[in-house]
A and B are shown apart, each in its own frame.
Chain A
Amino acid sequence: MSPVIDNTAREHVHDLTSDTATIPTDEMFDIMKTATRGDDVFGADDDVNDLEVFMANMLGHEASLFCASGTQSNQIGLRTLLTQPPHSVLCDARAHIFVHECGGLSYHSQASVTPVIPKKGLYLTAEDVEANINKDTLTGAVTRVVALENTMNGTIMPFEEIKRIRAVCDKHGLYLHLDGARLWNASAATGVSMSEYGKLFDSISVCLSKGAGAPIGSIIASTKDRIRHARHLRKLMGGGWRQAGFLAKIARHCIETAVPTMPETHKLASRLATHLQSLGIRLALPCETNMLFLDFAPAGLTAEDFAVELRKKNIKITATSGSTISRVVLHYQVTAEVIEQFMDVATNIVKSHGKPVTTAMETDVKENGNTTNSSIESLGAAYPSGKN
């Protein structure tokens, strides 16, 4: 969901429903003008080629491909690994590739999915993976790829755990794919470099149009051969765009300017989280990067109650009708002032409408470990659906 940016409009809506809401600035169009204007289907555009080399290097891979969306880069990456059915993908039950890509795994790769509910609640472990590998060559769809997502719902999968999962995959001869749409955030938060992460995976998808700030686009990185195949698949999927040089150039500019600001964004998110918790609002998931999953129920309020008041300050949050939860996402275009206003509104609304304030800080989900099922069931309403 996005702000309605009309250059004639005075009002700017601060859209906290997703970091896909990062919008191009006027300055960006001036930069776009300086880009090369070759035809990318013919591989004849320098800026696209440069971006692909840049990203491949950054991710520790041989080659990369510039795609129209994260869905496209994920599905293409997976398709290059899923060459011969029957086969399946093992992933977290909440994974974007499984839940929010229109059944792409089945459609593009004729692959079944083994959706795993992580025992510890926040992220898949090597044990989760190993326990769910399908090796049934008689009646089953054998596991071919294990797919991880980092960050998922803004939470970080520990680097050590990824390494352990890599070892499991190696042991069983499986590929490992990363939906790293928000890997930038993980890297900023942990200090592990993009390339250290990248090298653990056979294919890795990294989004440019979310927190990284570009208007459009996503990257898939892998071996030269797979990316060659990926380019062909991209054409098949209708992603063979022509003069995309300016999109590549601006993506690169955004990576260089927006990504370094992520630590500040994370600090703001953390600040907001602390304040809201002090008002009695619960975090359904820990706030580890740029996302807050807020549960207003303990404060006696619904998401809509908040949304209405925030809208008066031109701040937009997801508010599914009847729900008490909402996902709030920060990015580099959300300023400290906006967060201050959010905090003020929250303070006021809880004081005037909500239950008496208790400083009941929810214990970390990690420590509890057994709220898994309710986490997965109840978070659906927190996401923007395009209908509200």
Chain B
Amino acid sequence: MTFTGKTLMRLTTLRMMPVRRSFSTTGASRLYIQNNLNNDQTHPSLQADPNAKVYDFRSDTVTAPTDEMFDVMKAASRGDDVFQEDRSVKELEEYMANLCGHEAALFCASGTMTNQLGLRTHLSNPPHSVVCDARSHVFLWEAGGIAFHSRASVSPVICRNGIHVTADEIEGNLIEADIHTAPTRVVSLENTLSGLVMPIDEIRKISELARSRGLAMHLDGARLWNAHIQSGVPMHEYGAQFDSMSLCLSKGVGAPVGSILVGDHTFIDRARHLRKLFGGGWRQVGPLAAVAKHCIENVVPTMPETHKLAKYLSDQLTSMGIQLQVPVHTNMVLIDTASVGLDVQEDLIPTLLRKNIVIGGQRNKSRIVLHHQVDRKGVDTLIEGVREAITARRAAEPEQQQQQQVAASLY
């Protein structure tokens, strides 16, 4: 089953968002403050009520397996994937390769693994470097993997439009080979990035540029599903622009574990060997593969509703005076609460935890992520909680609030 424009409910074109006061003007460098090992996202003094349903808006990675999924797992094959003897894994890999218009695919434990394996397979000969958006997951959130696994430098590009890098910007940041440099070897894009859809036209331009320079094109397509659903561009059309793509199965797609890397046969063979080196040579994973395929077929078609819900959430929040860090294209709402005087950790998180809502973030920034297991009720509860927090803040310090509102209106 492949997704084409016809299977979508309707094609939505991205509205060009005018630059106006809904967007925070602070730089795009740290849009999502994630927890670190020392500073757990759970608020130190308050926990959600474990007996009632908890809505976790920190990420779409929290999609949990359903009872039905275990039945799907039971029916899967039980071969050994290190020796490539599992039918269900092969089915998933063939399915994904076809869907993306590539020759082969590799099923791995995580998106970090598929990204790093993809990049590592391109990066065979140091000195070399990767050019990517400065906000890229492969650069910021993969524990320095590019340096560690590939001994590569990174040229992080800050995009001027705040949405996506352009071909001009990529070209301007390419490093040529000379005695001093680590020449660019791979262009790594991310789609969606912070929930933002990168336009296919721009991707095509970058792909042409890269190929004209003999550079490899890699996509962190952890959430390519969302981009595809929102833009209507077929998966294989994206696939044609890249030499390798990483697509996550455990985020919005809803599978418990796993990610896919696609590329040509030689590439995937090499990646498979590297996968073992990374410790990703797992054994009886047929059940994981089977349930991932099941989720692709059943969950991805629900993404339009999730995107609608995100839009609804964002409209409600902005109507309260909260700003958006970036526009809402798919399933993420990145908010900036400075204009309403809220500190995320101090004011917002405790209020929401009392309602069994979990969000992340620090100071004035938070990223709210929706997925198919978040219903309208959860979103409304979140909205309610935010409203309460704002009201409480206004009641507590009215003067300070007025000052902030004046400042905000100057933007």
Query: A-side interface residues toward B, CB under 8 Å?
Result: 1-7, 20-21, 23-24, 26, 29-30, 32-33, 37-39, 41-43, 67-69, 71-73, 75-76, 101-104, 107, 209, 215-216, 228, 231-233, 235-244, 246-247, 384, 386
User: Which residues from chain A contact B342 at a C-beta distance below 8 Å?
Assistant: none
Q: How far is the CB of B358 from chain A (nearest CB, A)?
A: 9
Q: Does B117 contact A (CB under 8 A)?
A: yes
Q: Knowing A2-B79, A2-B80, say if A241 contacts B64 (CB, 8 Å).
A: no
- B 83-138 contacts with A by CB, 8 A: 83-87, 108-110, 112-114, 116-117
- B 56-79 contacts with A by CB, 8 A: 56, 58-59, 61-65, 67, 70-71, 73-75, 77-79
Q: Does B234 contact A (CB under 8 A)?
A: no
Q: Which of A4, A6, A20, A39 contacts B283 (CB 8 A)?
A: A20
Q: Does B312 contact A (CB under 8 A)?
A: no
Determine if B80 and A20 form an interchain contact, defined as CB atoms under 8 angstroms apart.
yes
- Bound-state CA distance A32–B291 (Å) is 13
Q: Knowing A4-B85, A238-B116, say if A69 contacts B79 (CB, 8 Å).
A: no
Determine if B65 and A246 form an interchain contact, defined as CB atoms under 8 angstroms apart.
yes
User: Which residues from chain A contact B113 at a C-beta distance below 8 Å?
Assistant: 237-239
Q: Is the interface of B mostly helix, strand, loop or mixed?
A: loop
- Bound-state CA distance A2–B81 (Å) is 9
Q: Which of B70, B110, B274 contacts A33 (CB 8 A)?
A: B70
User: Which residues from chain B contact A69 at a C-beta distance below 8 Å?
Assistant: 279-283
Question: Can you list 15 contacts pairing A with B, beta carbon distance less than 8 Å?
Answer: A1-B85, A3-B79, A23-B78, A32-B70, A39-B61, A42-B62, A68-B282, A101-B276, A215-B283, A215-B287, A238-B112, A238-B116, A238-B117, A242-B257, A246-B256
Interface string of B273-291 (1 = CB under 8 A from A): 1101111111111010000
Determine if B287 and A71 form an interchain contact, defined as CB atoms under 8 angstroms apart.
no
Determine if B284 and A216 form an interchain contact, defined as CB atoms under 8 angstroms apart.
yes
Determine if A241 and B257 form an interchain contact, defined as CB atoms under 8 angstroms apart.
yes
Determine if B109 and A241 form an interchain contact, defined as CB atoms under 8 angstroms apart.
yes
Q: Knowing A232-B143, A242-B61, say if A21 contacts B280 (CB, 8 Å).
A: no
- Bound-state CA distance A242–B281 (Å) is 17
- Bound-state CA distance A107–B150 (Å) is 10
User: Which residues from chain B contact A233 at a C-beta distance below 8 Å?
Assistant: 143
Q: A2-B83, A247-B257 are in contact. List 10 more A-B contacts (CB 8 A).
A: A23-B284, A32-B73, A38-B62, A69-B280, A69-B283, A216-B285, A233-B143, A235-B142, A236-B112, A241-B258
Determine if A239 and B109 form an interchain contact, defined as CB atoms under 8 angstroms apart.
yes
Query: B-side interface residues toward A, CB under 8 Å?
Result: 35, 37, 40-41, 56, 58-59, 61-65, 67, 70-71, 73-75, 77-80, 82-87, 108-110, 112-114, 116-117, 142-145, 148, 250, 256-258, 273-274, 276-285, 287
Tally A-B pairs: CB < 8 A.
167
Q: How far is the CB of A76 from chain B (nearest CB, A)?
A: 7
Determine if B279 and A72 form an interchain contact, defined as CB atoms under 8 angstroms apart.
yes
Determine if B79 and A7 form an interchain contact, defined as CB atoms under 8 angstroms apart.
no
Determine if A24 and B276 form an interchain contact, defined as CB atoms under 8 angstroms apart.
no
Instruction: Name the 3 nearest CB pairs between A and B, nearest first.
Output: A72-B279, A238-B113, A2-B80
Determine if B82 and A238 form an interchain contact, defined as CB atoms under 8 angstroms apart.
no
Q: Which of B40, B56, B73, B112 contacts A240 (CB 8 A)?
A: B112
Determine if B279 and A37 form an interchain contact, defined as CB atoms under 8 angstroms apart.
no
User: Which residues from chain B contact A67 at a C-beta distance below 8 Å?
Assistant: 279
Determine if B108 and A24 form an interchain contact, defined as CB atoms under 8 angstroms apart.
no
User: Which residues from chain B contact A243 at a C-beta distance below 8 Å?
Assistant: 63-65, 250, 256-257
Q: How far is the CB of B111 from chain A (nearest CB, A)?
A: 8
Determine if A239 and B37 form an interchain contact, defined as CB atoms under 8 angstroms apart.
no
- Bound-state CA distance A109–B277 (Å) is 12
Q: How far is the CB of B150 from chain A (nearest CB, A)?
A: 11
- Bound-state CA distance A327–B117 (Å) is 32
Determine if A238 and B108 form an interchain contact, defined as CB atoms under 8 angstroms apart.
yes
Determine if A75 and B279 form an interchain contact, defined as CB atoms under 8 angstroms apart.
yes
Determine if B74 and A26 form an interchain contact, defined as CB atoms under 8 angstroms apart.
yes
Q: How far is the CB of A56 from chain B (nearest CB, A)?
A: 17
Determine if A236 and B282 form an interchain contact, defined as CB atoms under 8 angstroms apart.
no
Q: Knowing A68-B109, A242-B61, say if A29 contacts B74 (CB, 8 Å).
A: yes
